[in-house]
Structure 1
């Protein structure tokens, strides 16, 4: 087995389409974050806080939530719905249906979760916030790649995307298991019935928006009422969508194509706007330092160590032309934690609390440092990547499929 091998040409084309959307989303995410930080630390910071705390929604359905809560509980459900579609497609119809290909990103994601958690606790972070630095933000990571104009090989980009998707699954499992405030069985049972009905409809090809949308919203509301974080509903619904279809056209692919721009271009940037407006002055503390160390050191350590262990205990080897510097660069990119990290911070410490502000400042600082270090490493490798890209383009045939994918 070859680590970071190219995979199939159809998968490479699909990944390229995803990367373009996520890169644009990363730029919007960065813009929303900068606006929030400037606004929260300006003389009009109180207005920003008042806007975040503005409550809307029907109180009788327990949905009279602040705008910040609507962004975290509601809009991020769209983000996790898309992540769920991507995850199912990868493991059912993508290259990762092969267990040998799946082993590496899964192992790297697990390593990238364990090492930051251990470093966070060892550095004196509050134990209940151990999961804050464990997530990777793929949109921000790909935006960094776009900014530095690296010629990172497609195989490594695919690995980074898959790592982040598995990372999201682990994060949503952590949220469901460790950050459920109180479980109410009846709404949860009703939500499960709603998911089953949704799955039955999509499996039978009943995809009218006026049928699925109200049902999905109902499942989300029932999940919210059950005490489990409402974003879990997005993943549960996504897992019911079929990924195989006639002529290669899949319902999961159609849903993903329709909702990924909404997620990357609206849902996640709006959440970032409400979640990242931290008053910088006086926010730093022990939790801040612990999060920074976990992201900058823990993520690359965990990802690189897991990759080495896969090679050590299997017959796998790095693909030709790649080195462990490439793996380190990916590990540093994995340290760019944002969307899910900010969400877990709010769940662990309470939105707007002192520890929440400390953790969010750590997420912002650690992500920035990880991005800068990744830029240094990948720019050193940039000349090698450019040479690989030139070789690949020179191998193109008249059929439009690079020869390297037909070997």
Structure 2
């Protein structure tokens, strides 16, 4: 598991070295957040990563949205910050900027490439064991065409050996198209990067989530934030994860925020006290789907049953390191259903299964301090018989994210 820090728009406006020490200068952490010192700084992050056995993924500032420092000055600051973290914790990946294509930065792909190049060269020279990750553009924006941005970026860095980061927000206009389109665009970007670089790209989705609706700064935008962490968001996040997991060039999918009690996209909510944390619906969905990150995901065909233009079902089989078979499913149907699955290797077998399902009474439900199980995980178990064609019928709860783990009881 990788934990990305500091993540989000904050990474394009601060130097991580400024989050170290006792006297920390006030920083603006996001467009909607007040100016304040960052109490969870670089060293606290490194210690936390070590405590939970995660991997450190650092985002460095190559843009400097507020100060516009020269690129070579940023490269020196970035090297200092990286060395400070490495003194406490190993780092696997360094992401060079967060969203350089945002209008406020005024950068096209070529200009972004020039901005990041001094830091990239410093990484190649002084930190050769750390993978650099650069930000490619997913959806075409009003002011930038994705294909042109990505071409300019690759050319500006001389087709360097880098990984690529993509961000996708979906399912909430005007900020997000349907999940189906997001996944289709992800496939298109993979193929474009393959053509531009002449090699299979290594792609990471380092941010994704359900857009709440409206635009940042609109009156009432905060009231829409529950759309990023309710049961409807859990279904959309699960559908994107299941779809992206079946694209071989996508090596990982990271959710936007670990904890954001005063913002959208949280994985945790906070009660009355600072240490009183409980999971959001999207975290529960990710926890149920975590086996997808621990095994070999197989490309899985599903029926394109749709209602109102929205796909009702998406699924992926995964084979674990121990050889066990699992099935991840997101089901948007409003009624419980029976899903027919086909696994030729299990033909003629009686198979027991254990499952975990994320469920709620309605799609607008989300967990609060007074209703911490409005969205919850429930266990399911049973057995099914696969016929001679390898087909069996599984029960599907309504509007749920489910992971089935199968045990073959006849060999």
State whether TM-score is above 0.5.
Answer: no
Point out the structure with max Rg over C-alpha: 2
- Indicate the structure whose relative CO is greater, using CA pairs within 8 Å and at least 6 residues apart: 1
Taking structure 2 as the reference length, the TM-score comes to 0.24
- Which has the larger helix fraction? 1
